[in-house]
Amino acid sequence: MRLIFTFFGILVSFLVGCSPSGQNSSEISDQIFVEVLVSVVQLHKVYEEHPDSLTNAREDLFEHYGVNREMLESYIRKMEGRPEAWEPIFSEAKAILDLESKGSSNQPRSRIGSSGK
């Protein structure tokens, strides 16, 4: 349960830190959301004492994945009221973070639905 609150805290943190983009809002897949979530967690570890650098790195990250604040907010709204839908998202993110914390370079294959919705 603590892990879920940690991930939600990070979600709020990176949404607050997002700067609006000129991109049109569209849906993002579960897998892209997982990748963005994991990358944001990693950025927070690297730049925890450098908020300005964190903001710049986060903007670069979102550009890399082709996402923006509106897309992330839309994804979260889509998932609201469906706690069971978050389970595979958080499980995937946790598995990736656990592997990386053990020094493994092999990423686990996605266990979330391939439909992306």
pTM recorded for the entire structure: 0.69
Report the percentage of the chain scoring pLDDT > 90.
Answer: 50
At 61-95, the pLDDT tens digits run: 999 999 998 999 999 999 988 889 999 999 999 99
Q: Please indicate whether residue 1 or residue 45 has the higher confidence score (pLDDT).
A: 45
**CB–CB of 59/19 below 8 Å?**
yes
DSSP the chain: -HHHHHHHHHHHHHHHHPPP-SSPP----HHHHHHHHHHHHHHHHHTTT-HHHHHHHHHHHHHHHT--HHHHHHHHHHHTT-HHHHHHHHHHHHHHHHHHHTT--PPPPP-S-TT--
Whether residue 48 is predicted with pLDDT greater than 80 in this model: the reply is yes
